[in-house]
Amino acid sequence: MQIGLLEPENFCPEARAKLALLGAVHDWSGVDLGDFLASLDVLFVRLAHQIDDNLLKLAPQLQWLCSPTTGHTHLDEVALRVRRVTILSLRGERAFLETIRPTPEHTFGLIIALLRRYREVFVDTLAGGWDRDRFRGEALFGNHVGIIGLGRVGHRVASYCEAFGAEVYWYDPADVPAEPAWKRMPDISKLIDASRIVVMSASFKLGQPPLVGRAEIELLSGRYLINTARGELVDELALLSAIRDGRLAGVATDVISDENGANRLAEWRTLADGRNLILTPHIGGATVDAMARTERFIVDKLAAEIARREVSA
């Protein structure tokens, strides 16, 4: 069994030791990707690479694609299915994921950071400023928070906001559990209308249209938007235009569209100057403890899958 780590930096040592019991473990050095992939049976990836048909052509023996993530936007699921490569990820592992909370924590932190204008305050203070009246923010207590997507992350964020005294509104087309005090809205437009703070926590599948399009972004005028789900959930061009025109009270995003491709990161960076705009590089789930635990979980899942195949062979 030949096992490759496409992003070996800081890979959990315990998970690596378990992998070594299954086969030979190889780290990609950053060069000769074709040589690295050619003989692999198993490939571990995070989010830094797009796993598409072009890459899969370099890995003709690949049987398992392991990704300790819930989202699959970095994976061409059709190409993997055509090549009969099994995806092992965190999708659907609800019981385990309930114990993994960095993303809702980061989301909540971004809410507070936007309301209190932390990025602008930090920059101004380090540049010599000390003006508390210039940076009067808003409290979360008594504020209205709208959650788009009340799944695992959205539900946890809603509970954090409620604990701080905010009114919670939510939209999700699925039949999902919610607390009685949280108000379900019939559509996204009505949720935005009722909310001062809008949080994107929905799941995304490649090819689906944005949940928040140009019309919804118009409704966001004067409001705060936080996105720690996927950049493609929002019409990015319309959002960037709204930010440029100063129509939103603040935006915090941990994700952008086409992160591993021809993205608009340079434009995001340009717009951040002098605005209540926070950019973080998809760090929602990136804590040392959470990443180690998810890597160990996927390795155990791989070991169980290999054992099942051996029994049925």
Catalytic pick among 232, 236, 259, 295: 259
* CA distances, 153 to each of 40, 96, 112, 184, 189 (Å): 34, 13, 17, 17, 21
96: left (phi over 0), alpha (psi -120 to 50) or beta: alpha
Instruction: Considering the candidates 106, 155, 282, 293, report the single residue annotated as catalytic.
Output: 282
CA angle 60, 63, 69 (to 5 degrees): 115
Counting Cα atoms < 13 Å in the Cβ hemisphere of 301 gives: 22
Cross-strand bridge partners of residue 169? 146, 183
Tokens of 272: 């951040």
Catalytic-labelled residue, pool 26, 116, 196, 230: 230
Backbone angles phi, psi at 80, to 5 degrees: -65, -40
Please indicate whether residue 282 is annotated as part of the active site.
Answer: yes
81 is catalytic: no
Using a 10 angstrom Cβ sphere, with 0-12 exposed, 13-18 middle and 19 or more buried, the burial of residue 280 is: middle
Instruction: Answer yes or no: 259 catalytic.
Output: yes
Active-site residue set: 230, 259, 282
